[in-house]
Every structure is written in C-alpha cells, then in structure tokens.
C-alpha cells in the first residue's frame, strides 16, 4: 500500500492545484518513483487518496493499481491500511510513503529478504541518520542485536515496512496512526527493524526536491 492522501502543505504553492505525489522530482512525479519500487516485485498495489483525488485517479488510471479515496476525512496510516485490507489480498503487506526517494537497493526487496513471519508482526526499514537526507530529528528507533526495536534517538523510520494488516482490526478508532499498532507490538516483542544500506531523502518541501535530485545524480548534497 502506498500512502498518498496527505495535503502536502509544506510544499506551499506546488500543491495548491495538485496533490503532493504529483510533484515532479528529476522530471517524474513522486508517485511514479514510488510505483517503480513495487513493479519488480509484481505486487498488487493500493494507493489511498484524499486531497484533489481526481488528479491522481486520472494519472493512475492505466497503471493497474487500485485507488481508494478517503472521505470525508483522511483515515491516517492505520485507518487507511485497514480500509485497504480487502484489496490487498491475504498475508503481510508492504506499506510505503509517496514522499521519499531512495538511492541504493530496492527497499521493498530488502524487507522481503529479511521478513520472518514466525517471529515478526511488523518489520520497519530504518535509515542511519547520516543517510537520511532532509531529516532534522534525532531518529525514531533503537535497534537491538536481535533485530527487535524500541523507541528512541537512533535510526530514522523510512516509511517502508512489512506489516500484518489484520493487526489494525484491534484498534477501535476509525482514523488512527500505525503508531498505535506498533505500540502493541513493542509490548509483545514482535516489532523488528532492518537498517537500509543506501540513501533516503525526505521530499516533503521544495528544498527536498533539490536535495533528492542531487542525491539521485550522486553529487554532494
């Protein structure tokens, strides 16, 4: 599932008349960069929409993906995943944000190779801070030697993960963050992390576009 429902307010004028996933980086909309990660794996893909949904619907009409418009309100990541569950098929699902770019191995392939359904309920792809371009915080998770994670300054959550979607059924709210699911998994020791070996760039603002294009061109950032 690709999350693409946000308003993109940090983009300013660039999202006045189009949703953020349609903002171009290196000549291509963000949503197309994101879809290119899923294509090699042959995944059934769902994209959630909310702000100016008709623009993304038209853009994705011939892509083979399923679009789900959330109305009247955005369901956030947890509610959005639960809403999409029947369209994703059975078993664990990837989730991916549409406002980041990557340089290095395919992040979804990396997650797939490390996934162990017997001991994991979610596996989050994490970025060392020096490789998380545009991230201004101190990180989100600390990785243990066993691969389990706890919250704290350390690695940056990339927005990419594998998770068992049925876990969202345990939350009573209609709109909620996947953080609520992660909190339950933290308590049970079934939340795991995987460090990413490449670079990742947040493209949430106009400055992020320039930063991402430099990263893709392999020039100093």
**What is residue 221's predicted lDDT score, i.e. its pLDDT?**
47
Strands 122-127 and 132-133: unpaired
Q: Are 21 and 98 in contact (CB under 8 A)?
A: yes
Give CA–CA dist 155/76, Å, rounded: 23
Output the pLDDT for position 90.
Answer: 87
pTM equals: 0.96
In this prediction, residue 161 carries a pLDDT of 98
Quick one: pLDDT at residue 220?
53
Domain 2-216: CATH class, spelled out: alpha beta
Measured distance CA(151)–CA(54) in Å, rounded: 38
Question: Which letter does DSSP use for residue 139 in this model?
Answer: -
- Decide if 81 contacts 68 (C-beta within 8 A): no
DSSP-derived 3-state class of residue 197: coil
B/e letters for 177-207, b = 16+ CB within 10 Å, e = fewer, are ebebbbeebbeeebbbbbebeebbbbbbbee
Please name the residue ranges forming H helices in the chain: 30-38, 53-59, 76-88, 107-114, 179-188, 206-216
pLDDT by residue, tens only, the chain of 221 residues: 999 999 999 999 999 999 999 999 999 999 999 999 999 999 999 999 999 999 999 999 999 999 999 999 999 999 999 999 999 988 999 999 999 999 999 999 999 999 999 999 999 999 999 999 999 899 999 999 999 999 999 999 999 999 999 999 999 999 999 999 999 999 999 999 999 999 999 999 999 999 999 999 985 54
Please report, for the chain, the start and end positions of each structural domain, with discontinuous segments joined by +.
2-216
């Amino acid at each position: 599932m690709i999350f693409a429902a946000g308003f993109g307010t940090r983009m300013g004028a660039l999202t006045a008349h189009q949703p953020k996933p349609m903002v171009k980086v290196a000549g291509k909309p963000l949503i197309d960069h994101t879809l290119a990660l899923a294509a090699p794996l042959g995944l059934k893909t769902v994209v959630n929409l909310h702000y100016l949904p008709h623009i993304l619907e038209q853009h994705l009409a011939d892509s083979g993906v399923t679009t789900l418009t959330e109305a009247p309100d955005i369901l956030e990541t947890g509610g959005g995943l639960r809403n999409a569950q029947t369209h994703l098929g059975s078993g664990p699902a990837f989730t991916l944000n549409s406002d980041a770019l990557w340089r290095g191995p395919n992040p979804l392939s990396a997650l797939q190779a490390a996934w162990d359904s017997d001991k994991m309920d979610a596996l989050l792809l994490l970025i060392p801070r020096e490789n998380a371009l545009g991230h201004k915080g101190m990180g989100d998770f600390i990785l243990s030697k066993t691969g389990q994670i706890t919250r704290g300054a350390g690695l940056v959550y990339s927005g990419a993960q594998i998770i068992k979607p049925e876990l969202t059924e345990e939350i009573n709210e209609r709109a909620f963050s996947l953080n609520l699911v992660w909190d339950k998994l933290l308590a049970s020791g079934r939340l795991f992390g995987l460090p990413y070996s490449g670079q990742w760039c947040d493209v949430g603002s106009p400055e992020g576009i320039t930063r991402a294009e430099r990263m893709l061109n392999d020039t100093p950032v």
